[in-house]
Chains A and B, each alone.
Chain A
Amino acid sequence: MSQQTVHPGKPRVAVHKFSSCDGCQLSFLNLGEALLTLAERIDLVHFAEAGPLDPDTGVDVAFVEGSVSTPEDLERIQHIRAHSGLLIAIGACATSGGIQGLRNQAKGAEWVAQIYSHPEAIASLEHSTPISCHVKVDFELWGCPVSGPQILAVINALLLGVTPRDNTDKVCTECKRQGYPCVMVTHGIACMGPVTRAGCGALCPSLGRDCYGCYGPAENANTDALAIQFGHLGLTPAAIVRRFQSINSQAPVFLAAADKLRAG
C-alpha cells in the first residue's frame, strides 16, 4: 500500500487529521485546478481523505488538522513529529483545541456517560488540546477553517525556500482596508473583530454582522477594553463570557478574558 513513486526533488507532503470536522483539509480539496497543479509540484505521501495512505514514511512537510483528544492521538502526534521535517498546524482545532475545547470547562466523563450507553468503550481524554501542547510546531495557521489562499501561500513560500508569514493583525484592519462600515459603531452589534486575528478578509462584517472570533486572538488583543464595550452595549457578563468561549475557547488570551469575567 505504501508503494509511492518517489520523485526526487519534489517535497514530500503529508496531511494528517486529528479531532476535527475535516473543514481545513477541504481547503486543499476545494483548490480546484490549483489542486492538480499542486499535485504535480509536490509528492503527496499521506492524505487519507484524498487517497494516499502512508502515515509512516518520513516527509518534508506535515500539515496537521484537528486537536489531540484521545489516548491514541498522544502517540500518533509524536510519531508524526518524529517523521516530519516541518510540522504545520492548520485551523482552530490544531492551534487552540477548537470548538471541542469547550469540553475542557466541563466534565468530559459525565458527558460520555450521558451520550453513550457503553461509556467504557469511548476513549476520550478529559481535554481537547492544540498540537503545540504536545510537540514542537514550526508554523501555525489560524482560522476555522483556514482558507485556500492561506494554504497556497504557505506551500509557495516553502517551495521558494522562504519562511512563511501570516497576518497577526486584527479583523478591524481588514474591515478598514475593504471599506466596510464598522458594525459595532453603526449598529451597536457586539463584534469580536477588535481582538480577532486577521486572515479571513472580514467576512462577517462584509455581511453586516458581528465577527465571532473564528480566527482566534490577534496579537496585542485588548480583551479588557472590548469586554467593557460589550457591557456598554448591554451584554450581560454571562453573554460576554460566551463571546470569548466559542470556536477558540482555549486560546490563552480568550480563556483568560473569560476567566477574569467569571471571577467577576
Chain B
Amino acid sequence: MTERRSVAIHVPVLARVEGEGALDLRIEQGDIAELRLRIFEPPRFFEKFLEGRHYTEIPDMVARICGICPVAYQVTAAQALEDLFGVELDPWARVMRRVFYCGEWIQSHSLHIHLLAAPDFFGCGNAIELARIAPDEVRRGLRIQGLGNELMDLFGARSVHPVGVRIGGFHGAPSLARILDMRDKLRAALPEAEALIRWAAAIPVPQDDQVFVSVATRHPADYAIERGDIGASDGLRIGAEAFDAHFIERHEPYSTALFSTYHQQPYLVGPLARLNLNHEYLPGAIRALLADIGLVLPSRNLFHSLLARAVEIWLALYEALRLLDGYRVPDSPWVPATPRAGVAIGCTEAPRGLLWHRYEMDDAGCVINARIVPPTSQNQGRIEEDLRLSLLNFGLDHPDDALRLHCEKVIRNYDPCISCATHFLRLNVARA
C-alpha cells in the first residue's frame, strides 16, 4: 500500500468521447511527475480553407467541424456575420434560433449522459450493457435525444449538418401543424426530464471540490444560450470582441488542439460553468427542484457535470415550449443581407461550452481569414489540472486499471469533443 511505485499509465484509446486522445501519466516516488492529455485528432484546417469562401457558404462549411454540435457552429457564424453586415433579424428568426439551439442541447446532452458518461457510474462498459440493467432509463434517454433531433429537423431538415440556417434568418419556416405536434411532445417530455434529473442526482459521485474559474456567456434577459457577453466567476464581463485581450491560445507540441488560458490560468467552460454563473436565470420550477435534490450552486465539483447536463435538458425543453407558444408562420423566414468589409466576431454557448468565432471579411463578402476557438481546447488545460488534483485526491496507489477508470471519468465530465479540438484516451502510466 505504501510501496512507492513508479508507474507509467498509457490509456491508449479513450472510449466514449468524441474524437481521439491519449493520456500519459508518469508517477515517481508516489507523486505525479508528468501528466499530459494528448489530443491527436488529425488537423482538418477549417480556418485555412474558409479563406476565400463566400459568406453564404460559411454556415454549411463550419457545421462540418463537429457532427454533434453543428448548430452551435452555424448559429455562431451566422450571428457574427449578421452583426458585421448590420442585418437586423426578424423577431421570429431571433427566437427560432434559440429554439433550434435548444434542440442541439437536448440531443447532445442526452447522448452524452446516457451513451457516453453514465455507464461508468454503473460499472458498465457501454450503454448497451447499461440498457440491460437500466432499460427504462436508457430508453428514456434515447427518446429525449430523439426529441432534440426532431426539434433540429424542424428548422434544418436533419439534425447532423442541418441545412436551414442562412445569413438573415432561416431558409424555411415549419408549418403551424408541425409546431403544434412538437409542443405536445415537449410538454410530455418535461416530466421525463424531471425524472432524469432525479435519477442523475441519485448517482453517487466522488466528493472532489476544486478551485477554478468558470467562464460562460451571460445575458441580462435569460439563461444565455445563443447570445450574450462573456462572463467569468471572478467578475469579468466583456463583449465578445474583447476575448483576445483576456484569453490566449497556445500550442503544445504533444497535441493538435490549441490550449487556451484566461489570465494565464486554466478555466472551465460548459454546462457546470454555465450553471455556476447563470443559475439565477433558471425558471422557478427548476430552482425548487434543485433545492429539493440538494444541488447547491455554484458547485466546485466537476462530478456534478452529468447532473448539470440533465438540468440543462429540462431548461431547453422548457424554453422551446415557452418560445413556441403562439407560433405563427412568418411572411419571410429571412431578411436580405448585404456584405460589408470588416471583422465579424461572435460567441454562443455550444453544448460543451463557449464557442468563439472571428472572421475578417472583404467587401465582396469573402473570408480573408478566420479563427475559431472551440470549447474543448478551452477546457483542455482545466482537464489536465483536474486530473492532477483528482488523482491525488483519489490516491495514486490504486492499481493501474482503477487509475485509468478514474481518469476516464474525470475526462468525460468535460464531454470533450475531440473532433472539434479533436476522441479516445490512450493512458500511459509510467511509475518509477
Interface residues of A (CB under 8 A from B): 17-27, 29-30, 32-33, 35-36, 39, 44, 48-53, 55, 69-70, 73, 98-100, 102-103, 106, 108, 111-112, 114-118, 120-124, 128, 144-145, 147, 200, 203-204, 206-209, 212, 214, 239, 242, 246-247
A115 touches B44 (CB 8 A): no
Interface residues of B (CB under 8 A from A): 13-20, 40-45, 47-49, 53-54, 57, 60-61, 64-68, 70, 107, 111, 115-116, 119, 125-129, 131, 138-139, 142-143, 145-146, 149, 157-161, 163-164, 166, 170-172, 250-254, 256, 258, 417, 419, 423-424
Q: Can you list 9 A-B contacts with CB-CB less than 8 angstroms, sorted by A residue number?
A: A20-B67, A32-B146, A49-B116, A73-B42, A121-B254, A145-B67, A207-B157, A207-B163, A242-B57
Q: Which A residues are in CB contact (< 8 Å) with B253?
A: 118, 120-121
B366 shortest CB reach to chain A, Å: 9
> Which one, B43, B57, B149, B250, contacts A117 given CB within 8 A?
B250
Q: Which A residues are in CB contact (< 8 Å) with B417?
A: 22
Q: Which B residues are in CB contact (< 8 Å) with A27?
A: 160
Given A22-B419, A144-B161, 15 new contacts (CB under 8 A): A19-B44, A21-B64, A23-B67, A36-B131, A36-B142, A39-B131, A48-B424, A98-B64, A106-B49, A116-B258, A118-B253, A145-B161, A209-B163, A239-B54, A242-B54
> Which one, A52, A55, A116, A208, contacts B171 given CB within 8 A?
A208
B19 touches A208 (CB 8 A): no
Whole-angstrom CA separation of A22 from B112 in the bound complex: 14
Q: Which A residues are in CB contact (< 8 Å) with B119?
A: 51
> Which one, A51, A73, A98, A204, contacts B126 given CB within 8 A?
A51
B11 shortest CB reach to chain A, Å: 10
Q: Which A residues are in CB contact (< 8 Å) with B17?
A: 49
> Which one, A35, A102, A122, contacts B43 given CB within 8 A?
A122
Pairs of residues from A and B, 9 with the lowest C-beta to C-beta distance, nearest first:
A23-B67, A51-B126, A207-B172, A118-B253, A121-B253, A102-B49, A203-B157, A100-B44, A207-B171
A23 touches B142 (CB 8 A): no
Whole-angstrom CA separation of A41 from B163 in the bound complex: 33
A214 touches B13 (CB 8 A): no
Whole-angstrom CA separation of A123 from B16 in the bound complex: 24
A49 touches B158 (CB 8 A): no
B159 touches A30 (CB 8 A): yes
> Which one, B157, B252, B424, contacts A204 given CB within 8 A?
B157
Contacts known (A32-B145, A36-B128, A208-B171); A124 close to B251, Cβ less than 8 A:
no
B163 touches A203 (CB 8 A): yes
Contacts known (A33-B142, A99-B64, A208-B172); A51 close to B128, Cβ less than 8 A:
yes
A29 touches B111 (CB 8 A): yes
A50 shortest CB reach to chain B, Å: 6
Q: Which A residues are in CB contact (< 8 Å) with B171?
A: 204, 207-209
B336 shortest CB reach to chain A, Å: 14
> Which one, B13, B44, B139, contacts A33 given CB within 8 A?
B139
Whole-angstrom CA separation of A196 from B16 in the bound complex: 34
B160 touches A49 (CB 8 A): no
B41 shortest CB reach to chain A, Å: 8
Whole-angstrom CA separation of A208 from B171 in the bound complex: 7
